[in-house]
Amino acid sequence: MIFVLNFFAEFINLISSESNEVCNREEKRTIAPEHVLKALEVLGFGEYIEDVYAAYEQHRLETMDTMRSGKWSNGAEMTEEEALAEQQRMFAEARARMNGGSASGPKHSDSETQPTSNS
């Protein structure tokens, strides 16, 4: 069983690495489905391209249906100001977790962006 898991992990690493190289050759910053399909072709796994593309299309359609059904509509209905306030709140919570403190809300002082010196 471990052998099979190791095999699949190595296969995924191989495809990921080649997809990244294809992406870099095209001077893109994000691996797209087309890069994965090209990687399969380059690595000699062309027989999988049709199935992988079909799975991608199915995923894309399901994702679009989910977005349309309203499951993700909460964020889409926010105003720009509400979204900014929510983002600031989440950043404050993340900072507090990183610093071991509590999230008391976003701070607007320059001390957050300026390094402090202990001299």
* Inter-residue contact 35 to 19 (CB < 8 Å): yes
The per-residue pLDDT for 68 is 73
Only one residue has tokens 């679009």, namely 64
pLDDT at res. 101: 60
The pTM of this model reads 0.54
pLDDT in tens, the chain (119 residues): 899 999 999 999 999 999 999 999 999 999 999 999 999 999 999 999 999 999 999 999 988 877 776 655 554 577 888 888 899 999 888 888 888 765 444 444 444 444 444 44
What count of other Cβ atoms lies within 10 Å of the Cβ of residue 71? Answer: 9
Long-range CB contact pairs, 45-54, < 8 A, 24+: 45/15
- CA–CA distance, 12 with 24 (Å, rounded to integer): 18
